[in-house]
Chain A
Amino acid sequence: MKKLGLVVIGLSMAVLAGCGTNVRDQVLDANTGKGQVELRSIQTRAFDTTDKEKTLRTVIATLQDLSFVVDKADLDLGSVSGTKLDGYAVRMTVSVRPRNASQLIVRANAQYNDEPILEPKPYQDFFSALSKALFLDAQAVE
């Protein structure tokens, strides 16, 4: 029984270490296994429009279509946050800012319960829904 106990403690520690419990790692998301450049490209798309208000309003409508309840929105900052509850909690912030004379950059970041969402797929799904609602292509940004 003692041996089993030790094995379990060791295993739990390994699992917990995998989740990252270090303060610095958690505050700065420093140990997610994804570089900042890679993450930014997963979370960012460019759209051929300069209408910030319309883009933000479409982001809000898209979040609502995806069952999010809007938490906050600010036209001057160009940001919107929302929460989706469905047996889990997903919190997402989307910001819109000019890229050049003819394009806007849309950046999204989200967390699932207590973990950052780092996989490309959820962001691809979000941008695909947004792109349909905007009638514009979502362009990858390097």
Chain B
Amino acid sequence: MLITKQSSNLAKIIGVVVLLGAVLTGCKSIPENALALKEDSFANRQLQTRKYDTLDEKNLLSASAAVLQDLGYNLDESETALGVLVGSKSRDATDGGQIAAAIFVAALGGGNMAIDERQMIRASIVTRPSVDEGSSLVRVTFQRVVWNTDKVVSRIEAINEQQIYVDFFDRLSKAVFLEGQQI
């Protein structure tokens, strides 16, 4: 009886600490250097940018819009005067590895573990004239928000996998009949 009472008190205290932690994080301020250029800023720029030998930004943008549609995105915003195109899509986010881990945890009596369920992926494409005459730059960036089976946001991140960008620019190059050059 004594042990149960002690452990229930402990549970209450843990609950309180978790609650306070959650409340305090609500007030937490922005991480140091979140808006400063970092060492990886330039590498990301190279990964996300290609140069095309054309000054026809509108053509690059409409080809980019077509590629986004090919990839299942819906267009949210566009401003051709500034060379901006924004698209997004909702997709399944279940991952075989996580399901296996959840089953393993459940088998060990760990209860129901939340796993990633759905994600919203956003892409934005920006064109601009290059400093090299007669050419334009196209930069695409992807990010995603993932919700788990508890409907809680489990990931919120930029997508910087090299292969995704290589594939994207392969498609864009085919669509504009031009070779995309690394910067």
* Interface residue tally on B, bucketed by range: 35 or more
Task: Contact check, A12 vs B19: say whether CB atoms are below 8 A apart.
Answer: yes
Q: How many A-B residue pairs have CB under 8 A?
A: 141
Q: Which residues of A contact B41 (CB under 8 A)?
A: 65-67
Task: Contact check, A75 vs B79: say whether CB atoms are below 8 A apart.
Answer: yes
Q: Which residues of A contact B158 (CB under 8 A)?
A: 67, 69, 84-86
Contacting residue for B86 out of A72, A115, A119, CB 8 A: A72
Task: Contact check, B126 vs A60: say whether CB atoms are below 8 A apart.
Answer: yes
Does A8 sit at the interface, judged by CB under 8 A? yes
SS class, residues of chain A in contact with chain B: mixed
Please report the C-alpha to C-alpha distance between residue A82 and residue B24 in the assembled complex, in whole angstroms.
26
Tell me how far the C-beta of A40 lies from the nearest C-beta in chain B, rounded to whole angstroms. 18
Instruction: Say whether, besides A65-B41, A70-B124, A56 and B82 are in contact (CB < 8 Å).
Output: yes
Instruction: Say whether, besides A65-B37, A90-B30, A60 and B156 are in contact (CB < 8 Å).
Output: no
Tell me how far the C-beta of A16 lies from the nearest C-beta in chain B, rounded to whole angstroms. 6
Task: Contact check, B23 vs A15: say whether CB atoms are below 8 A apart.
Answer: yes
Q: Which residues of B contact A73 (CB under 8 A)?
A: 77, 79, 82, 84
Task: Contact check, B142 vs A119: say whether CB atoms are below 8 A apart.
Answer: no
Task: Contact check, B30 vs A8: say whether CB atoms are below 8 A apart.
Answer: no
Give A63-85 interface residues, CB cut-off 8 Å to B.
64-75, 80, 82-85
Contacting residue for B157 out of A18, A86, A126, CB 8 A: A86
Does B122 sit at the interface, judged by CB under 8 A? yes
Task: Contact check, B128 vs A115: say whether CB atoms are below 8 A apart.
Answer: no
Task: Contact check, B84 vs A115: say whether CB atoms are below 8 A apart.
Answer: no
* Nearest chain B residue, comparing its CB with the CB of A112: B30
Task: Contact check, A16 vs B128: say whether CB atoms are below 8 A apart.
Answer: no
A interface with B by C-beta (< 8 Å) = 1, 4, 8, 11-12, 15-16, 18-19, 53, 56-57, 60-61, 64-75, 80, 82-90, 92, 110, 112-115, 117, 119, 121-123, 125-126, 128-129, 132
Of the A-B pairs whose beta carbons lie under 8 Å apart in the complex, a sample of 19, sorted by A's number, is A8-B19, A15-B24, A19-B27, A61-B126, A64-B139, A66-B36, A66-B37, A69-B122, A69-B141, A71-B86, A71-B124, A73-B82, A86-B156, A88-B30, A88-B31, A90-B35, A122-B35, A125-B33, A132-B37
